[in-house]
Structure 1
Amino acid sequence: MIVPGGRLSKELRRALPIYVACVLFILFFARVNPYESPLEATEVIKRVLAAYQTPLQTTKSLFPRKIWQTWKVAPVQFQVRDLERARSWAALNPGHRYEVMTDGNDLHYVETHFGPGPGGLNRPDIVNMYRSLNATIIKADLLRYLMMYIEGGVYADIDVEALKPVDQFIPSHLNEEDVDLVISVEIDEPSYANHTILGQKSRSFCQWTFMCKPRVPVLLRLVDHILGWLERVATKQGVPIGEIVLNFDEVITGTGPSAFTELILAEMTRKTGRAVTWDSFHALTEPKLVGNILVLTVDSFAAGQGHSNALTHDSPRALVKHHYHASLWPSRHPRYSHPAYGMVEECNWERECVDAWDANTAAYPSLPAEEQERLIAAHQAALKANDDKEAAENAAHEAAEKDRKQSELLEACAAEIRGWLPKEEANAQAAEATKQAEATQTQPTEAAQTQPPEANQTQPAEATQTQPAETRVAHTDLRSDQLGTQ
């Protein structure tokens, strides 16, 4: 009963806690499985309460000027290729803070922001789930959603290079205050929607790069969705969360682009009050704002793929470049591979190739055993050749990385020595090094001694002196420093 002045009556105010308790009681038993343990039931009611909390999102705000990446180590330990990608973000966005979440500080971050302490969201279910996970790709997906929910800004995988400043992510004709989340189309191949393997991956938004404001509700809903999915997988496999085994497609649909896309479309539907499907973004040629979510064209974050009508990275729309060199997780979560024809994903969505793969795999069971064995042997040989090529490329990369580090060390040592020594002593050492270098050059090599005298005489003595003495001295000093540091 409402009394004059708009206040609740004394009787209703007294009964209100009982009504709230009843509602919570009903919600609790609506969500709880009677066969769950008391601990699991407690976690359920915590989630019920959390689900009805109002997200602490600031409306009509600007995007935080932050750039986030996640990796195994801190930037000071980056390999050269990772360092080059990271520098691209800092160089193009000098007004943004750059930060890397590593394997050494991620758990502390999650415990701090989602635990019960001051400023935490008091979500022990999230903390416990993150602490229990052993699958690195699942933790990587979950971590990006968690930290972007808390702080917002731009997230990019470690192998993503910035091509244009973050300020160009939102077209000039749009108001930044009206946008809460910026994403891009990644895969736009709806003609494969009914394909047994490719169907669930044929339409997706990119999540290797995206931008958002803090406390965007869809990210927390996505986290809750992932937690529920992980619990169902563990229950189905009959193992603890840390022991679940996932294949490639399960990762994609459970925490990766497919899950991301599903929750984004649901959020658009929630915001607009109408059903939003992938048809709204098929063959997208201009950025499209739906609710408070801005969807960019495929070229923005996913150029150069060779499918989905994506242009090259030279396109004026291309904002980032994904190099894929950090995407090694499929080797730990293999996808279906036919023993004779391999993986259909190797077709890269090319229609003729996919159709041939479908036809060949369908006809394979009816082939004679000898023909099946021949096809399998040919496929294995092709795989080995590809593995050998990759091994050679990796070895070359490691050798180049070793040479780079050695060169940097030698240069640093030489610079320090030049700074330590008095000028006279440095000149004396330089003169001595010059003498040693000239003495070495005047000694005939074994190959030269075997040549006829005429051949030796045709080479003027000045040929050995074409390099300036200063250059030879510096080179000699570097070699001496190298020997001294080993």
Structure 2
Amino acid sequence: MSSPIMSPLSPLSPTGSTKANLFRNRVPTQLRRCIPLYIACVCIILLVANLDVLGSVPNPKHLSKRRGQHSSISKQAAFPKKIWQSWKVAPFAFENEQVLTARTWTDKNPGYRYEILTDNNDMEYVEEHYGPDGLDRPDIVGMYRNVNATIIKADLLRYMIMYAEGGVYADIDVEDLRPVSRWIPERYAEADIDLVIGVEVDEPHFKNHPILGKKSMSFCQWTFMSRPGHPVMLKLVENIMAWLSDVAKSQGVTISEVKLDFDEVISGTGPSAFTKAVLEVMSARSRSGPITWDTFHDIDESKVVSNILVRDVESFAAGQGHSDSGNHNSRGALVKHHYHASNWPSRHPRFRHPIFGEVERCNWNIECVMKWDQDIAAFNSLSPEEQKREIEKHDNLQKLQTQQAQQKAEEQKAAEQMALQIPPQQPLQIPAQQPPLQEDLKLK
């Protein structure tokens, strides 16, 4: 008779009782009773030994919160030695004018790290520093990804860089005239300062002007220095997000489709927005009430307010021809803005009257602005038919002047070509008079 097949499920399969009995026979009863106690002791020892490791494991519920905010502004003795710029392409593809300005930053600050973000790596930077592995702000990442306006992204990016890492930011067309080490005067302790900015426009008598008012008092944001985690930078980013959302809603479009004019850019993300955020943070820190532009009007030397160093207009905005901005040859001028990268107004135009043009052409000259205002008021007093005739008259005059200028240029060019074709006249050569022969002298 063959033996039955013993599968694991067969009732004839051997059970563990035999092995258990063997174990009991070989191990004394007292020792068997102590085994659970020994195991418990080993577990306690392992637990105590690894408490520091277990304590260092972050709670997933609080991880994003911890990453999503700086506990405080960096209070290291010195600002980060980093210089940041942003442009369309990487340095190896720069045109000569970008090479010349960018090189001044590395030449005058050899101990600083220079980094530039481009249209090809800016999104990667934002995702790295504001994504799940960084500050964990998906709202900021999503907003930046959806914005299409180049100037809005450029403004946003500088604020986001400064909040995440800090250092010096400068537009690509800004030339460095002095080492960054001279930005903070010796009378101040660097540890007591967390943001360095300068005045750009100081023309408060235009504050009620319908076009110039919002731009008449502002800090410069084409060049500044910040510690990482500064509340001004985060306030700017969050203010811009809220503003863009409101604009998109009012226009009935998405953020990527919003249309903005020049003044909307200035007030929404540019110098006016920058100034508003700075004054709000100053006021929140102040114990003596709100901080207004009066504190910085006509300053001829730097001052510190709420740990923010504000330099005079000559420091970052010299040579503008307004706001008593001085010139770039002075010792106080730290940078020079060349404006060769400032072509964004072509996509976000200023208000331009069909006859009198842009009031910004006055460059804050009060007589010019008053004349422009008077001309606009006189034009607005006309009937629609009269306005139309005045515009046609102006357009015809412009066409005539353009034709005359073109004709003059063509005549000048033709004259220059004619001068090249006709060889220059040789000077008339008069033959030298021959001396009389000896025989002639004898006859005389």
Q: Same fold, TM exceeding 0.5?
A: yes
List aligned pairs for 1:222-261, cutoff 5 A.
Answer: 222-261=236-275
What amino acid sits opposite 1:75 in the alignment? P
Match of 2:33 in 1: none
List aligned pairs for 1:405-484, cutoff 5 A.
Answer: none
Asked whether 1:313 is paired with 2:332, we answer no
Work out whether residues 340 and 379 of structure 1, in 8 Å CA contact, stay in contact via their aligned partners in 2: no
Structure 2: 5+ residue runs without aligned partners?
1-63, 407-421, 430-444
How far 1:57 moved relative to its partner? 2.3
| SS of alignment partner, residue 299 of structure 1 | helix
CA distance in 2, matches of 1:150, 1:127: 13
| SS of alignment partner, residue 92 of structure 2 | helix
**One of 86, 108, 131 as aligned partner of 1:92:** 108
Match of 2:128 in 1: 112
Work out whether residues 217 and 293 of structure 2, in 8 Å CA contact, stay in contact via their aligned partners in 1: yes
Match of 1:375 in 2: 394
| SS of alignment partner, residue 154 of structure 1 | strand
CA distance in 1, matches of 2:193, 2:215: 27
| SS of alignment partner, residue 214 of structure 1 | coil
Shift of the 384–105 alpha-carbon distance from structure 1 to 2, 3 Å rule, reads farther
Identity of aligned residues (%): 56
Asked whether 1:212 is paired with 2:226, we answer yes
| Alignment deviations for residues 125-162 of structure 1 (CA, whole Å, 9 cap, x no partner) | 00000000100000000000001111111100000000
CA distance in 2, matches of 1:79, 1:147: 24
How far 1:319 moved relative to its partner? 0.2
How far 1:60 moved relative to its partner? 4.7
How far 1:358 moved relative to its partner? 0.3
Match of 1:357 in 2: 372
CA distance in 1, matches of 2:405, 2:136: 49
Work out whether residues 364 and 372 of structure 1, in 8 Å CA contact, stay in contact via their aligned partners in 2: no
CA distance in 1, matches of 2:165, 2:280: 23
Asked whether 1:333 is paired with 2:348, we answer yes
What amino acid sits opposite 2:170 in the alignment? A
CA distance in 2, matches of 1:174, 1:197: 38
Work out whether residues 68 and 137 of structure 2, in 8 Å CA contact, stay in contact via their aligned partners in 1: no
How high is the TM-score relative to the length of structure 1? 0.67
How far 1:282 moved relative to its partner? 0.3
How high is the TM-score relative to the length of structure 2? 0.74
Alpha carbon RMSD of aligned pairs, Å? 2.9
What amino acid sits opposite 2:348 in the alignment? H
CA distance in 2, matches of 1:321, 1:143: 22
Work out whether residues 57 and 215 of structure 1, in 8 Å CA contact, stay in contact via their aligned partners in 2: yes
Shift of the 235–174 alpha-carbon distance from structure 1 to 2, 3 Å rule, reads same
List aligned pairs for 1:16-415, cutoff 5 A.
Answer: 53=69, 55-117=71-133, 120-273=134-287, 274-366=289-381, 368=386, 369-378=388-397
Work out whether residues 55 and 217 of structure 1, in 8 Å CA contact, stay in contact via their aligned partners in 2: no
How far 1:362 moved relative to its partner? 0.8
CA distance in 1, matches of 2:66, 2:396: 56
Runs of 4+ in 1 over 3 A off after TM superposition: 49-56, 365-372, 376-387
What amino acid sits opposite 2:332 in the alignment? R
Bigger proportion of residues as helix: 1
| SS of alignment partner, residue 108 of structure 1 | helix
How far 1:378 moved relative to its partner? 3.8
How far 1:58 moved relative to its partner? 2.0
Tell me the matched-pair count.
348
CA distance in 2, matches of 1:263, 1:185: 14
Shift of the 210–363 alpha-carbon distance from structure 1 to 2, 3 Å rule, reads same
Work out whether residues 69 and 157 of structure 1, in 8 Å CA contact, stay in contact via their aligned partners in 2: yes
| SS of alignment partner, residue 103 of structure 1 | coil
| SS of alignment partner, residue 111 of structure 2 | coil
CA distance in 2, matches of 1:300, 1:383: 41
Q: Which has the higher contact order (CA 8 A, sep 6+)?
A: 2
CA distance in 1, matches of 2:67, 2:381: 54
Work out whether residues 187 and 202 of structure 1, in 8 Å CA contact, stay in contact via their aligned partners in 2: yes
Shift of the 353–324 alpha-carbon distance from structure 1 to 2, 3 Å rule, reads same
How far 1:375 moved relative to its partner? 2.5
CA distance in 1, matches of 2:202, 2:147: 31
Match of 1:36 in 2: none
